[in-house]
């Protein structure tokens, strides 16, 4: 039985951003790769920043809004990761990590969608 570490959402989104930064550091420096990587970095690091902002929100509505932005950024991160994979920019040694990051982005979208939905119904 393997025990995996359990992260709260702030930590999980922070770690997602860190993983993306490490992944981006090994991508090639072609014109196309640099532009796609720039977009990915902005979106992926924004997920956690917006979750962090939601904690200090001024109202329930503000919290829902910030979580919805985090969800949007997670979707965008997933898009850029898929684009980078589809364009063949990922070094073969990083293919598994790229796929794992796509899955993590998908999970974050689901988690954030649930949070936004619950905040909207109360």
pLDDT in tens, 67-119: 999 999 999 999 999 999 999 999 999 999 999 999 999 999 999 999 999 99
> Considering all CA atoms of the chain, what is the largest pairwise distance in Å, rounded to the nearest integer?
48
CA 82 to chain centre: 12
Residue 51 has pLDDT above 70, yes or no: yes
Write the CATH number of the domain with boundaries 9-121.
Answer: 1.20.1440.60
Residue 31 has pLDDT above 60, yes or no: yes
Task: Dig out the tokens for 93 from the structure.
Answer: 């040694």
């Amino acid at each position: 039985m393997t025990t995996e570490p359990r992260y709260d959402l702030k930590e999980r989104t922070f770690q997602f951003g860190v993983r993306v930064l490490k992944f981006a550091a090994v991508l090639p420096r072609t014109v196309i790769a640099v532009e796609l990587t720039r977009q990915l970095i902005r979106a992926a690091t924004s997920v956690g920043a917006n979750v962090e902002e939601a904690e200090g929100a001024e109202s329930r509505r503000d919290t829902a809004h910030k979580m919805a932005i985090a969800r949007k950024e997670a979707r965008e991160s997933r898009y850029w990761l898929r684009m980078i994979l589809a364009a063949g920019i990922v070094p073969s040694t990083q293919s598994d990590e790229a796929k794992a990051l796509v899955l993590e982005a998908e999970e974050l979208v689901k988690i954030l969608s649930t949070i936004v939905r619950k905040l909207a119904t109360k």
